[in-house]
Amino acid sequence: MIYEREWSNPNYEFSTYTVENLNWHLHFHEVFEICYVISGRIKITIDKEDYNLKNGDGVIIFPRQLHRYESAHDSKMHMITFMPKLIPEFVNRYKNMIPKNNVLIDIKKYKDEFNPENIFEQKSLLYGILGMLTKNTDFKESMPRGESQMLLKILKFIECNYFGDCSLDTVSKQLSYGYTYLSRNFKKLMNMSYMEYLNRYRINRAIYILSSEKNVPIQEVAVRCGYDSLCSFNRNFKAITGMTPSKMQNQDRK
């Protein structure tokens, strides 16, 4: 997967790839994302709305829309991520707007075109899908820009500092926001406390390390994910995943 911080790289203006059994924490970014289910089932939550998708279903996620992925069983999904600059006419017309319904009806008819070889084919594919979207749903105003900018700053700070001092007090001082203001608005926008989100982010990073690196010591994983206490790391890991880090590591070895 391409993580949020990498979207500043111009090489990622348009990316198309396939993922399996995708689970990823609540986040948002500055790009569009198209998801098409090839097989299995997956739940995608977009701005607190749950979309339970099966083979042939698809959704589109707009910039700054909060979303996460949950796949309980085997699933395979094709994804297209692209920057707004590729579709200037659409962006200008629907500036600061998001769809009331993110489902892409009849997305299956575009599946053979998901790997365009040049920018003209890319634009043709994207405008075709967006044209279909505008026929099937209305649009509404997106999150106020001030709130979205604040939230984006916090999420980027966590992404760059999760392995170290990432307390809400530190964030408020670094970003020059009041502690109470950040705490209250973060919970309102994310539907969870700052600490809950931080723990979920850190545990997701731990899962990635355990699944991609062989025989890494659990203590090292804990430290790399911002935990000074192995006990706290184990407790949070089990609370979020339902198993201990050691058990997950042993399963991956098998």
Task: Write the pLDDT tens digit of every residue in 8-53.
Answer: 444 568 999 999 988 887 787 789 999 999 999 999 999 889 999 9
Mean pLDDT, the chain, whole residue set? 89
Domains of the chain, each with CATH number or no CATH: 4-141 (2.60.120.10), 145-253 (1.10.10.60)
What is the pLDDT at residue 4?
Answer: 46
Q: How far apart are CA 188 and CA 195, in angstroms?
A: 14
Tokens 């820009």, residue located: 145
What would the pLDDT profile of 169-203 be if each residue is shown by its tens digit? Answer: 999 999 999 999 999 999 888 888 999 999 989 99
Q: How far apart are CA 16 and CA 133, in angstroms?
A: 19
Confidence of residue 254 (pLDDT cuts 50, 70, 90): low
Q: How far apart, in Å, are the Cα atoms of 153 and each of 4, 27, 141, 142, 145?
A: 12, 12, 21, 17, 12
Of 90, 96, 95, the residue nearest 123 (C-alpha): 90
pLDDT at 2 over 50: no
